Amino acid sequence: MEKWDIHYLRHIRNILALFAIMLLIFIFKAGGEIIIPFVISVFIFLLVNPILNKLDRLKVPNLLSIITVLVLVVLIFVVFVYTVFQMVNTLLSRIGTYAERVAEFDAFISVYLARLFDADPEGYSFLASLNIDWLSLLRGYLTSFSTRFLGIMSDAMMCFVYLLFLLMERRSFAPKMMAILNRDKGERFTKLAMKMNRQVSKYIFLKIIISAATGVMFYLVSILTGLDFALVWGVLAFVLNFIPTIGSIIVTVGTIIMAIIQFMPEWGYVIYVGIMMVSIEMVIGNILDPKLQGVQLNISPIMILISLALWGYIWGLAGMFLAVPLTSMMQIVCANIPPLKPVAIFLSTGKFLTLGRKEEKKGRRKKKDGVDENSFDVEMPIGKNPEDLDDDFND
């Protein structure tokens, strides 16, 4: 009877946990306008916190440190906004020319599609068959950018206010937690917050460096190949690189489509642009990025894609940008709460488990061959206590 009661209570707990997750998703989605600026300001705070710590070690007054960081953040935002406006103005000034190029490409491809679908080549148009006024749609989207910009500025001001208060409260946060909780729990919570701060800030910093390198490479390749809107592709490559996998695919496909429209029917240039852009993403995305980020994150690639879909559903494009750091923070929290450790393991790549099994098999073979396994100092994560599992996620 006692075992049945425990089994019954376990099911009740799982059902309540499922309802709690669904409630959180509803709250996050419904309150996105308020929550998103706060979450963004938290990540900006995590990014600039190492700068503040460095200024503290240099004995810089706290007020001067806060002003310095705020000025730096505002300057970066102003430069980015100015660059975006320049891009939009450039696109608007040359949209007519590229409308003609798109029409030529439509005429070129429609000949082959008419044969495929057994239609009249004279009157068939691929773009017309889609029944979408692409030119008016693009021009309307670009001209309405000023209206959209007001909403962006409003969110930016909210982020700035949140960031200001986070910076002012940063020294009192840990003492307040120690006062609210008992000493052991307070220390554990402080260590957890420090671990999240280190991991997420390192991820954001490295991601900015990698994204900047990607943007510069796209910009330089666009100039070398003569691809128009080099600055646009460089900025897009920088921004979209924060969205794992999907962002790099979008900007790479965009440059290839642009090359087709611009250079057609000189397909040699198109192939050259395609090879160069794909090579950049292959080298940076598949070699450099995993090598630098591999020591910081231990998240399964499939879990990253699922988190992209989930946070994209909750917060749209902003959620896709925040998906990876949010998942990383979730993993750290789950790794430090005993009932949620299976969730942390499920989110991970599982490499530490695989290594543990390999070491275990290696030890068995040595024992079978007559070697004393106690003479080897073998670290086997599988045999660790659950309380130590969280350390493996940062190895």
Range name among 12-21, 177-186, 357-366, 379-388 with the lowest pLDDT average: 379-388
> Could you read off the pLDDT of 127-180 as tens digits, one per residue?
666 666 666 666 666 666 666 667 777 888 889 999 999 888 887 776 777 777
Confidence of residue 217 (pLDDT cuts 50, 70, 90): very high
Q: What is the mean pLDDT of residues 325-353?
A: 77
Evaluate if residue 295 carries a pLDDT over 80.
no
Q: What is the mean pLDDT of residues 172-196?
A: 74
> Could you read off the pLDDT of 53-93 as tens digits, one per residue?
888 888 889 889 899 999 999 998 888 888 877 777 777 77
Evaluate if residue 377 carries a pLDDT over 60.
no
d(CA 316, CA 295): 29
The whole-number pLDDT of residue 130 equals 65
Beta bridge partners of 35: none
Both tokens of residue 51? Answer: 């700068």
The whole-number pLDDT of residue 369 equals 53
Dihedral angle at the C-alpha atoms of 379, 382, 387, 391, nearest 10 degrees?
50
Closest CA to 326 of 346, 309, 305, 311: 311
Evaluate if residue 290 carries a pLDDT over 80.
no
**More confident of the two residues 103 and 19:** 19
59 φψ region: left (φ > 0), alpha (ψ -120 to 50), beta (else) = left
Distances (CA, A) of 269 to 106, 234, 263, 355: 19, 19, 6, 47
Residue type, 282: M
Closest CA to 93 of 285, 290, 232: 232
The count of other CB atoms within 10 Å of the CB of residue 262 is 19
> Average pLDDT, whole number, for the chain?
76
The whole-number pLDDT of residue 120 equals 66
This prediction has a pTM of 0.72
Question: Phi, psi at residue 296, to the nearest 5°?
Answer: -100, -35
Beta bridge partners of 299: 348
Confidence of residue 292 (pLDDT cuts 50, 70, 90): low
Q: Which residues of 179-206 are buried (b: 16+ CB within 10 A; e: fewer)?
A: eeeeeeebeebbebeebbbbbbbbbbeb
